[in-house]
Amino acid sequence: MLAVTLCIGAMAAIGYTSVSSESRQAPEVSEVSAHSISSTNSASSKSSGLSENITFDNIPLSEIARQLSETFGCTVVFADKAAEDIRLYFTIPKGSTAADFVAIIDDYDTLAANIKDNTITIKLQEGQQ
């Protein structure tokens, strides 16, 4: 597995409730296809969770991972590149932590996720590759 780590500066908790596919911004870093996304952010949301509900509507998982890795101050690693392009719809509730995000992703039959040492690993379920 190729792992490229990108460091993104600290960022406040995400301040919007919905991101649509039409309005979503291009990633701030050019290496969007990289297999690992991380942040050194240690904002309050890391311990206390999200400050409000966030709905991801038709957003690629790579972008979701980028947003939330900044918020939670963790690293997201994609074990399967194909997983990055999966566009999801879900709402992550206020107060959620990185572990809750992992649980949401893991609930999809298509995806599998786990967290260890502040690193979230996302991959496709067996048979989906």
Partner 1 sequence: MRIRTLALLLLLTAAAASAGTRISKTYTRRPLPEVLVDIDKTAPEVSIRFIYNKLEDYLVSCSLHSATPLEAVQQAVGFYPIRVTRKDSIVIVEPVYETDRKIIGRVVNDKSHPLEFANISLYTADSTFVTGGVTNSNGDFVVPCPHRQVIARITFIGYKPFDRAFSFHNGENALQAGTIVLREDPQTLREVIVEQDLATTSAGKSTYIPTKRQRNAATDATALLQHMMIPQLRVNPASGYVTTLSGEAVSIFIDHIPASAEDLSGMNTQDVRRVEILDFPTDVRFQGKKHVVHFIMQKYTLGGYTKLATTDMILADFTSTNSVYSKLAHKRWTFDANITGRFSSQSHIGMEKTETFYLPSQAITRTETAHGGKQRSERKSASLRATYNSDKMQLANRFELLDEKTPRQELYGSVVYSPAVCQPTCSESSREARQLTPTYKGDWNFFLPNGWSLSASPSLQFSRNKQGRLYKEASPIEYNVKENAYKAEWVTLAGKSFAKKHSLQTGTYGFNYNSSMDYSGSTTAHQDMDYLALGIPVIYKFQAQKLKLEAQAVATYEHNEVNGETLSKWAPMASLEATYAFTPKNSLEAELGVGLYGANGAERNPNIMQENELLYYCGNPLVENYNSYFGRLQYTWMPSNKFTASALLEHYYHRDYFANVWNICNGGTAILRGIENVGDAHFTNISASLTLRLSDGSLQLNASPYLSLQDVSGLNKMKDSAFFLDLKASYYIGQFYFRGCYSLPEKVYYRENTSWLRRRSVYYITAGWGSKHWKAKADIVNPFRTDWRANSSTIATPLYSQRSESFNSSSHQRINLTLTYIFNYGKKVKQGNELGTASGGQSSIL
**CA gap 44, 108 in Å, rounded:** 28
C-alpha pair distances (Å), 80 with each of 14, 48, 93: 26, 30, 26
Q: Is 52 in the site for partner 1 (CB under 8 A)?
A: no
Among 90, 99, 119, 121, binds partner 1 (CB under 8 A): 90
Q: Is 14 in the site for partner 1 (CB under 8 A)?
A: no
State how far Cα 77 lies from the chain centre. Answer: 9
Q: Is 114 in the site for partner 1 (CB under 8 A)?
A: no
Task: Catalogue the E-assigned strands of the chain.
Answer: 18-19, 36-38, 54-60, 75-78, 87-92, 111-116, 119-124
Q: Is 51 in the site for partner 1 (CB under 8 A)?
A: no
Q: Is 33 in the site for partner 1 (CB under 8 A)?
A: no
Closest to 39 measured CA to CA, from 64, 71, 7 = 7
Least spacing, CB of residue 59 vs partner 1, in Å: 9
Q: What is the DSSP letter of 81?
A: G
Least spacing, CB of residue 42 vs partner 1, in Å: 28
* Selected range binding partner 1 among 9-17, 23-31, 71-79, 102-110, rule: CB under 8 A: 102-110
Judged by the rule CB under 8 A, the positions of this chain that interact with partner 1 are 57-58, 85-91, 93, 104, 107-110, 125, 127-128
